[in-house]
Every structure is written in C-alpha cells, then in structure tokens.
Amino acid sequence: MRTIDWIDGAIELIDQTLLPHRLELHRVTELPELIDDIQRLAVRGAPALGVAGAMGVALIAASVDAANGDEELDRDEVRRQAALLREARPTAVNLSWGVDRAMTRLDEGAAAILEEALAIRDEDIAACISMGLRGADLTRELTGKDRVRVMTICNTGSLATVERGTALGVIQTLLEQDSLEEAFPLETRPLLQGARLTAWELQRMEAPFRLLIDSAGPFLLSRGIADAVFIGADRIAANGDSANKIGSFSLALAAKHAGVPFIVVAPESTIDMSTASGADIEIEDRGPLEVAGFGGVRTAPEGVDAVNPAFDVTPHELITAIVTDRRVVLPSRGETLGGVPLGDLRS
C-alpha cells in the first residue's frame, strides 16, 4: 500500500494519526482538507510532503478547471491557492519544492500539472530504492561489518515517502541483504512517531528491533549499542547542515563522542542550495498542547506553557555522510554538496 497516491481524480493517503491502532485511507478532494492533513500530520515526512504538494496543485488545477467550464484555466486562482498550500508547513523544503515543480506546468493546463505530480511520485519510489542500496553499501564500508546494529529517530520509512523510505529504507535494505543484526528506533517525543509508526513498520517487515526512549539513545550509543545512526532530513542547507526531527542533534553529539558514523539519508530534492546554513532554516514550533498531553489526555497542569520545536539542526561537522538518490557526500572528509565533481559521485 502506498502512503499517498492519486486515485480517480483525488488524493488518497494513509491517515498516520490513527496508526498503529487503525490503518485507514483518507480521500482528499479539496485543498482545505489537504492543508489540514498536512498540519495535523496525517501525511508527513519530507518526500511524502513533496508528493502531497505536487498532487495538491493538481487537485487545485482540476477544481479551478471544472469551475471555469469551457473557459481557460484561471492561472491566477491556481497561483493563489498554491501559495496557501506551499506555506502549510515551513521547515520541510520538499513541500514547497513539490508545489513549485508542479507549477512549472501551469501554462500547459491541469492535465500537464497532474502528469508532473505523478512523475514526482514515481521518482520518489525510484529514489528510495537507490538510497537504500547506497546506504547499505556505505554502512558496511564505514563500519567494516557485514551485519550491523543501527539506531534511528522519528519515522523515515514508507510512511514518510510513497514506498520504502529514506533512513528506514536503508534499514529495510540491510534486512533484505541479511546485514541487519538489530535496529533501535527512538520513541520520538512528543508525538511518538518512532513508537507509533517506525515500530509498526519494523514489525511489518519482520525486522529485529527494540524500542528506546529518546533520552536513552545518547547514553546507549556511548555504551556501544549501535554501529551507526541513520536519520532523515526535512531540509539540508547548502553547507550540509541538516534539519530533522527534534532529538537528532543529541544523537549526532553522542555519535561523535562514541565514534559511530552518523548518516543523513534524504533525496536530492531535500537539499536547498538557496539556504546557506542551518542558521537560516525556519524551525516550526507546534505550541504547548502536544507537550502538555497525549492522545487527548492532559499530563501537565492546566496553564503550563511549553517550547515545542518540531525540528533541530545538526551541523555538518557532526555528519559523517549524506546519502541521496544520486550520490554519497562525506562532510567528515571535507566533501561539500556543491563541490563534489560528478565523476566522483558513487555509482
């Protein structure tokens, strides 16, 4: 089952807020529904948001086209609605990237926009396969081991993409190649994407794993529990700084202390060369309610405020490697995103 797809003139997506208790598809026919699904994290994960952005533009164009009847597509109205979609979540660059790429076909009409959105979907599937293979090979190379123990945070599997995933896609590939000894997903506070989603996906692929509380990850790395750390990314700046789920920076510091490779896995579309460094990345704060309770049950006293950044930024100096669908870049060896000659990209 795909996390997100275009079926019979509408977007169908897995409502991730209901997992792991219910697996339910939500059919989206209007832009406000899609924006709400993005903001409440029914659909999430950088690559999936890119596909959602592109398909959202296709949905807008189809709606505007139908409203106009025989008249020419109202491009200004499509642009107005696409701008609302583009800003639904600020940190993940893939959402705006998907919207912008679909909008390049605006002058060709609604059918061309849909064609571009479906191309983005198909490219995402191929990219995940490529990242899995590159990441698995690199892990064995960096660790010198045929079977490895790996740690990860948040959800970077098929639920964060269309199929397979980024960082968790590497773990799936290691499993398929009989190179995974054990995985250690972190629970991922405050919305427990690791406990709810990653654990669910690891169970479905029958991978050996044990769930960790977030604060245990750095300590257990210092005790040698894992051979490598994998994370995804919501935006990678031009200098290699990487924004990912809150808690990633702590794992990077611990991995550096433990001498464990810290590997970022994300498609090329997540690299934002217009953002110079992590200091320029807007970090979304999701407010106090997610911290003050969970599942509709309040756990903090009434009136308690909170700081709730959804992401943090890992400086490139702490990143061993960045694995994309097209290349492996090693910041730890002085390689840069813009300065690696094409001939040096790993096949």
Separation CA 275–CA 74 (nearest Å): 32
Residue-level pLDDT at 347: 36
Place of tokens 């970090």: 283
| Angstrom distance (rounded) from CA 342 to CA 42 | 38
Q: What are the E-state strand segments in the chain?
A: 4-7, 10-14, 25-28, 148-152, 180-185, 228-231, 235-237, 242-245, 262-265, 271-272, 293-294, 297-298, 311-314, 321-323, 328-329
Tens digit of each residue's pLDDT (9 = 90 or more) over 231-289 = 999 999 999 999 999 999 999 999 999 999 999 999 999 999 999 999 999 999 999 99
Contact 251, 322 (CB under 8 A): no
Final residue in a domain of this structure, among 81, 103, 123: 123
- 228 plus 154 within the same structural domain: yes
Whether 167 and 52 map to the same domain: the answer is: no
Asked if residue 296 and residue 315 are part of one domain, the reply reads yes
* Predicted TM-score (pTM) above 0.85: yes
Q: For position 255, which CATH number holds?
A: 3.40.50.10470
Q: What is the pLDDT of residue 340?
A: 47
Residue 339 is predicted with a pLDDT of 65
The last residue of a domain, from among 74, 105, 123: 123
Extract the tokens encoding 179: 């190179």
Q: 245: which strand partners? A: 311
pLDDT at 70: 63
CA 301, 305, 311: angle at the middle one, nearest 5?
Answer: 120
Which of 108, 123, 117 has its CA nearest to residue 161? 123
Cα–Cα distances (Å) from 106 to 10, 54, 68, in that order, read: 18, 12, 15
Q: What is the pLDDT of residue 91?
A: 81
At 150, list the tokens.
């790996």
Report residue 143: phi and psi, to 5°.
Answer: -90, -20
Active site residues: 234
Are residues 190 and 325 both part of a single domain?
Answer: yes
In terms of domains, do 316 and 188 share one?
A: yes
Q: Which two tokens stand for residue 316?
A: 């490139």
Sequence letter at residue 206 = E
Per-residue pLDDT tens, the chain, 347 aa: give them: 899 999 999 999 999 999 999 999 999 999 999 999 999 999 999 999 999 999 999 999 999 988 777 678 899 999 999 999 999 998 878 999 999 999 999 999 999 999 999 999 999 999 999 999 999 999 999 999 999 999 999 999 999 999 999 999 999 999 999 999 999 999 999 999 999 999 999 999 999 999 999 999 999 999 999 999 999 999 999 999 999 999 999 999 999 999 999 999 999 999 999 999 999 999 999 999 999 998 889 999 999 999 999 999 999 999 999 999 999 999 989 999 986 443 343 33
For the residues of 242-279, what is the DSSP string, one character each?
Answer: EEEETTHHHHHHHHHHHT--EEEE--GGGEETTS-SGG
Same domain (yes/no): 100, 150: no
Compute φ and ψ for 264, nearest 5 degrees.
Answer: -95, 130
Contacts of residue 259, Cβ cutoff 8 Å, sequence gap at least 6:
none
CATH of the domain at 31: 1.20.120.420
The verdict on 104 and 150 lying in the same domain is no
- On whether both 326 and 187 belong to a single domain, the answer is yes
**What's the pLDDT score for residue 87?**
93
Summarize the chain as % helix, strand, coil (round to 5): 45, 20, 35
* Predicted pLDDT of residue 92: 76
Domain count, the chain: 2
Examine the domain organization and report whether 162 and 134 are in the same domain: yes
User: Cβ contacts of residue 89 below 8 Å, gap of 6+?
Assistant: 38, 39, 49, 95, 284
CA distance 299 to 81: 38
Same domain membership, residue 133 and residue 115: no
Contacts of 96-100 spanning 24+ positions with Cβ under 8 A = 96/53, 97/50, 97/53, 97/269, 98/49, 98/50, 98/51, 98/52, 98/53, 98/54, 98/55, 98/56, 98/57, 98/269, 99/53, 99/54, 99/56, 99/57
* Domain shared by 166 and 225, yes or no: yes
CA atoms within 13 A on the CB side of 148: 29
Q: In which domain, by residue range, is 294 found?
A: 129-344
Residues 182, 72 share a domain: no
Last residue of a domain, one of 98, 123, 148: 123
